[in-house]
Amino acid sequence: MARMEHHSSYAFLLYFFVYLIWKGTIIPGWAVFLILFFGLFPDLDTIYWVIKKRGKMNTEFQHHLYFWTHWPLSYVPLIFVFVISVLFSFYPEYFIIPVIGIFFGHLLFDSIATGDGVMWGKIPWKKRYGRYINMFSRKTDGYHGRYWEARYRKTFIFKLGHLAAITSVIIILYFQIIFVIIDAFYIISIVYLLIAIILGLRKAPDEFYKEPPEGRYADYRKNPAYINGLSEKNRKKHLKKYSHMIVE
């Protein structure tokens, strides 16, 4: 997972350019709010986790493995809905919002510099798992919870995400100042991004910069359910690659 303001901002910036090219005008306030929301949407499973674990965000927090919200194929129906909206010319510029927000704002960037990556081939209704894609993750791969966050803050991807968030705030402010638009959704969106940016700049406690007690790779690499859920071909590759970590 990237930080919430990063996901929302990537989604907003992409939609901003798509909408500008498509419609030649600025995005309505409610649509700005929605694209920020759908950029964050898959991480709403965090709420369930926090309630279940009573606020603990330790290394057990591995929602990319356990929750359907981080399995891309769960959202394929959204693509079909968008295609139908295009075919019937029924506001496709708005039905594309969840597609951009979830697939490009969130899941794409969860495949970069995370603790595990994203299983793009995981079929939600089947027990079989898919292989993870996790690019540019030399510093972060294998870390989870606050241990991941502490290392993510030191990456170029983190700085890029904050630049995206600041740029998003400036663009939304531009909508209001230049076009003299006072819109509650614009204001809510700006407040959300500013709060998230400020919180994102806080230094993680020193203890999380140390190695986690469970070790760096206490995740899907050792998880029996994941290993047994791979195809025979992928299971052999996995066992060979991580044989030094797996205890029979």
Q: Would you kindly state where each structural domain of the chain is located, as residue ranges?
A: 4-215
Looking at per-residue pLDDT, the higher value among 245 and 105 belongs to 105
pLDDT recorded at residue 245? 82
pLDDT recorded at residue 180? 63
Cβ(42)–Cβ(69) under 8 Å?
Answer: yes
- The answer to whether residue 248 scores a pLDDT higher than 60 is no
pLDDT recorded at residue 53? 65
Average pLDDT, the chain: 91
Quick one: tokens of 136?
């540019």
pLDDT recorded at residue 45? 87
pLDDT recorded at residue 61? 81
Identify the band that residue 244 occupies on the pLDDT scale cut at 50, 70 and 90.
Answer: confident
- The answer to whether residue 218 scores a pLDDT higher than 60 is yes
pLDDT recorded at residue 199? 86
- The answer to whether residue 230 scores a pLDDT higher than 70 is yes
Query: What span, in angstroms and rounded, lies between the C-alpha atoms of 231 and 200?
Result: 39
Query: What span, in angstroms and rounded, lies between the C-alpha atoms of 200 and 56?
Result: 18
- CB-count exposure of residue 168 (10 Å: 0-12, 13-18, 19+): buried
